[in-house]
Amino acid sequence: MLTHIRSTLWVALGLIALSFCYSAEGYENFKVAIYAPAQNVQMMGEPNWLEENWEIISKQVKADKIYLETHRDVILVDEETITKAKKFFESKGIEVAGGITYTIMESNRFKTFCYSSPEQRQRAKEVAEYTARLFDEVILDDFFFTNCKCKSCIKAKGKKSWTQFRLGLMDKVARELIVKPAKAVNPNVKMVIKYPNWYEHFQGCGYNLETEPKIFDGIYTGTETRDPVYTDQHLQQYQSYLIMRYLENIKPGGNGGGWVDTGAIRYMDRYAEQLWLTLFAGAREITLFNFSRMLQPISEELRADWHGTKTSFDFDEMMQPIKLEDGTTVQPSTMARAAGYALEQVDDFLGKLGKPIGVKSYKPYHSTGEDFLHNYLGMCGIAMDLVPEFPADANTIFLAESAKFDKTIVDKIKGQLVAGKTVMITSGLLKALQGKGIEDIVELRCTDKKAVTNEFWHRRAFWGRRGAVHKSSSDIIIPQIMYLTNDSWEEISCLTSGIGYPILHSADYAKGKLYVLTIPDNFGDLYNFPAEVLTQIKEVLMKNLYVRVDGPSQVVLFVYDNDTFIVESFLPEIVDVNIVTDNRISKLRDVLSNEVLSGQGPPEPPMWVRRWRKQKSDKLIFNTQVKPHSFRVFKCE
Ligand SMILES: [Zn+2]
């Protein structure tokens, strides 16, 4: 197959106007690494294979680093081949690191090592030693977990849950069979654990986010989210950003980078979006998985309907010939160019962004509940920041059901409210904490009953005295929350068959306010919430941020602490949005086009409301548009 790939490559074109001039210098704001799995590294031992294929890759994407994997499945690459490959890359000025995948057979439901087996434990140790002898940096790919349920593992588990057993087991394996033996062989080796994208479920297979980041010198983040619909994981696009931030918050300064593959995409933008979001979260390094996939031909099938309309990823622009430093040109041909082009779209402005900020949301270690929900809220335009410790300093905290894993969570919520702060919990967390102290704050019941709704009533929209009704595009099933009249209040209600239920509910406690957000049974229905409902949720959650974006779901906001922000749309059509900022900001400059937007104050409410609500709005509104699958970068002035 690779021979065939080679034969399709490198048509030099001299006549076409060139839009891109290639220099061998790397990108300004991040390093790019390519990961070569053991099967690829084996091929590097064959005559000319590496030379020819590296030329194809390196002319399309600027790589600074290569990971050479020593072990995957039953393959252990021989030292001679690895040494040859190492020398080749070093001679090109490319940084070299090692990689290990602890699988027995990846293709058989990711069959991992059995760490109850003395033979396999010995093998794991030997692979760590072998790799550490050859490299000063070693990364463990996605499979440093165990899903073995052999007789020995069942016996070793005893009365513990699988989660408890595997968390303890992998902690020990990490210390005793991987890091310690590796350091014994090479005291200078930097051992890095890369975590995959299923963070909500790590503990079930023994990935230990609490102890392993301390055991290893560095961590690394799998930011591949692929297609949110046509994959069995159904990861939301926002996760490529959120998980980077989450792991950075777990090991500040120690999250080495993000890792993206080319799999499971229906249009090329989806690949680029994963790279972009990883970088928007502040990644220092991007790893492109993998060497052979960088050689896959670019498929015309990945051209989308919106390409050719100057969206952030422009298929035709990507296909422009690349002018090399020596004056020759090459025609883009493989996925390496998709990566190179996507990275070039963001390198110019990444240095202008500050530190990412967002609504602090606490997810205790080894917790689960309303799995991956934070990403759906991110997709609704709420800038999220997931943290592993309770963020008592934050003025506003969002808590999903997973917060129930902290046995003192009710006391912590009370502490925030007594201090005059805001806490928003989900209906799922409310349900989990019923009878466990939450009623000490407010007596609510999240029942097992459901309601089906497509109408939402915004009771505080005084433009019509009765409020405004907003329709969702489809029916939404929600849990029914019951409350005691005049003790707590519906902020947003849904209407159905002549009655209604809370969607956003609030209760006073001391000087603070507790909000309960009703989460639809299907999280995807959050995307069907009318824009006006999302706005009201944002008004509460994002009140401490200087910017929010009002519009439909799937328009996302990334906020930085230096008055810069990015608005990115994942919609297939142009979308109108209102950027709402604090009124200390008078103008917005589009960093990419230099266009300057002027804002205006919100429309004056009627006289009778003005009499009632003395305070003038402190917001400015900037009306603008975002193209399909595109981002805009703004600097506040
Ligand atoms: Zn086993």
d(CA 130, CA 602): 65
Count of other CB atoms within 10 angstroms of residue 411: 11
> How many Å lie between the centroid of ligand 1 and the Cα of residue 112?
9
State residue 468's pLDDT score: 82
Report the separation in Å between the CA atom of 105 and the middle of ligand 1, taken as the mean of its atom positions. Answer: 14
Using the CB atoms, write b or e for 598-621: b if 16+ within 10 Å.
Answer: ebeeeeeeeeeeeeeeeeeeebbb
CA of 115 from ligand 1 middle (Å) equals: 6
pLDDT in tens, 95-112: 999 999 998 877 777 788
The confidence band for 7, taking pLDDT boundaries of 50, 70 and 90, is very low
pLDDT at residue 465, as a whole number: 55
pLDDT over 70 at 21, yes or no: no
Residue 514 CA, ligand 1 centroid: distance in Å: 46
Match 């994407």 to its residue by tokens. Answer: 61
Cα of 146 vs centre of ligand 1, distance in Å, is 8
Q: Are 105 and 111 in contact (CB under 8 A)?
A: yes
Number of CB atoms found within 10 A of residue 389's CB: 12
pLDDT tens digits along 359-403: 999 999 999 999 999 999 999 999 999 999 999 999 999 999 999
Q: How far is the CA of 153 from the centre of ligand 1 (A)?
A: 4
Q: Are residues 171 and 215 in contact, defined by beta-carbon separation less than 8 angstroms?
A: yes
User: Is residue 610 pLDDT above 80, yes or no?
Assistant: no
Alpha-carbon span 215 to 291, nearest angstrom:
29
- The confidence score (pLDDT) of residue 25 equals 76
Ligand 1 mean position, distance from CA 79 (Å): 29
pTM of the predicted model as reported, rounded to 2 decimal places? 0.94
What is the C-alpha separation between 222 and 199, in angstroms, rounded? 9
- CB count within 10 Å of CB 181 equals 18
Render pLDDT for 375-384 as a digit per residue (tens, 0 to 9). 999 999 999 9
CA of 214 to the centre of ligand 1 (A): 26
CA 128 to ligand 1 center in whole angstroms: 20
pLDDT band with cut points at 50, 70 and 90 for residue 612: low
Give the pLDDT band (50/70/90) at residue 421.
Answer: very high
Amino acid identity for residue 379 in this structure: M
Residue with tokens 């090479």: 186
DSSP E strands in 512-585: the ranges are 512-517, 547-550, 555-560, 564-569, 575-582
CA dist 74 and 104 (Å) reads 6
The whole-number pLDDT of residue 18 equals: 42
Q: For residue 433, count CB atoms less than 10 angstroms from its CB and return exposed for 0-12, middle for 13-18, buried for 19 or more.
A: buried
Is residue 427 within 8 A of residue 516, CB to CB? The reply is yes
- Alpha-carbon span 494 to 471, nearest angstrom: 10
Q: What is the pLDDT of residue 620?
A: 95
Which residue bears the tokens 């690394």? 220
Q: What is the pLDDT of residue 272?
A: 97
Model confidence pLDDT, tens digit, residues 185-225: 999 999 999 999 999 999 999 999 999 999 999 999 999 99
Is 268:15 a contact under the CB 8 Å cutoff? no
Other residues' Cβ atoms within 10 Å of the Cβ of residue 185: 14
What average pLDDT does this structure show over 541-552? 97
Q: Which of 446, 251, 223 is nearest to 365 (CA)?
A: 251
Tell me how far apart the alpha carbons of residues 238 and 48 are, in angstroms, rounded to a whole number. Answer: 41
Average pLDDT over residues 125-133: 98
107 Cα: distance to centroid of ligand 1 (angstroms): 18
183 CA to centre of ligand 1 in angstroms = 26
Instruction: Output the CA 579–ligand 1 centroid distance in Å.
Output: 54
The stretch 251-275 carries a mean pLDDT of 96
Between the CA of 195 and the centroid of ligand 1 the distance, in Å, is: 22
- Distance from Cα 150 to the centre of ligand 1, integer Å: 4
Q: What is the distance between the alpha carbons of residues 306 and 574, in angstroms, rounded to a whole number? A: 9
- Determine the Cα–Cα distance for residues 507 and 414; give it in Å rounded to an integer: 12
Distance of CA 174 from the midpoint of ligand 1 (Å)? 16
Report every protein residue that has its C-beta within 5 angstroms of ion ligand 1: 114, 116, 148, 150, 153
d(CA 241, CA 547): 18
Residue 454 Cα to ligand 1 middle (Å): 50
pLDDT in tens, 272-286: 999 999 999 999 999
8 Å CB contact between 169 and 112: no
**Using CA atoms, how far apart are residues 315 and 342, in angstroms rounded to an integer?**
10
Distance 117 CA to ligand 1 centre (A): 6
Q: Identify the bridge partners of residue 410 per DSSP, sorted by sequence position.
A: none
Q: What is the pLDDT of residues 519-539, one digit of tens each?
A: 999 999 999 999 999 999 999
Instruction: Please give the pLDDT value at position 466.
Output: 63
Q: What is the number of other CB atoms lying within 10 angstroms of the CB of residue 255? A: 27
Gap from CA of 111 to ligand 1 centroid (Å): 10
Task: Check pLDDT > 60 for residue 341.
Answer: yes
Interval between CA 444 and ligand 1 midpoint (Å): 46
Q: Is the pLDDT of residue 608 over 70?
A: no
How far, in Å, from the CA of 154 to the mean position of ligand 1?
7
**Residue 181 C-alpha to ligand 1 middle, in angstroms?**
22
* CA 260 / ligand 1 centre spacing (Å): 30
Instruction: Tell me which H or E stretch contains 311.
Output: none
Q: What average pLDDT score do residues 486-506 get?
A: 94
Q: Which residue has the tokens 């080796």?
A: 189
pLDDT at 92: 95
- 233, 343, 216: which is closest to 285 by C-alpha? 343
What is the Å distance from ligand 1's center to 123 Cα?
14
Provide the Cα torsion 438, 442, 443, 448; round to 10°: -60
The region of weakest confidence among 9-13, 22-26, 53-57 is 9-13
Q: Ligand 1 centroid to 382 CA: how many Å?
A: 42
CA distance 127 to 483: 59
Q: pLDDT grade, residue 24 (50/70/90)?
A: low
pLDDT at res. 55: 96
Mean pLDDT of 39-55: 95
- Helices 49-58 + 79-91 axis angle, to 10: 40
Q: Is the separation of the CB atoms in 383 and 557 below 8 Å?
A: yes
pLDDT of residue 108: 73
Residue 88 has pLDDT above 90, yes or no: yes
Provide the pLDDT confidence category of residue 5 given band limits of 50, 70 and 90.
very low
611 has pLDDT over 70: no
**pLDDT per residue as tens digits for the range 165-193:** 999 999 999 999 999 999 999 999 999 99
- Average pLDDT over the chain, rounded to an integer: 93
Cβ atoms 400, 363 nearer than 8 A: yes
User: Do the beta carbons of residue 506 and residue 541 sit within 8 Å?
Assistant: no
Q: Lowest-confidence range among 242-251, 462-471, 548-557?
A: 462-471
Residue among 340, 333, 247 at smallest CA distance from 297: 333
Which region, left, alpha or beta, applies to residue 498 given φ > 0 means left and ψ of -120 to 50 means alpha?
left
Burial class of residue 72, CB neighbours in 10 A (0-12, 13-18, 19+):
buried
Interval 559-568: pLDDT, tens: 999 999 999 9
- How close is the Cα of 204 to the center of ligand 1, in Å? 15
606 has a pLDDT exceeding 90? no
User: Given a cut of 60, is residue 249 above it in pLDDT?
Assistant: yes
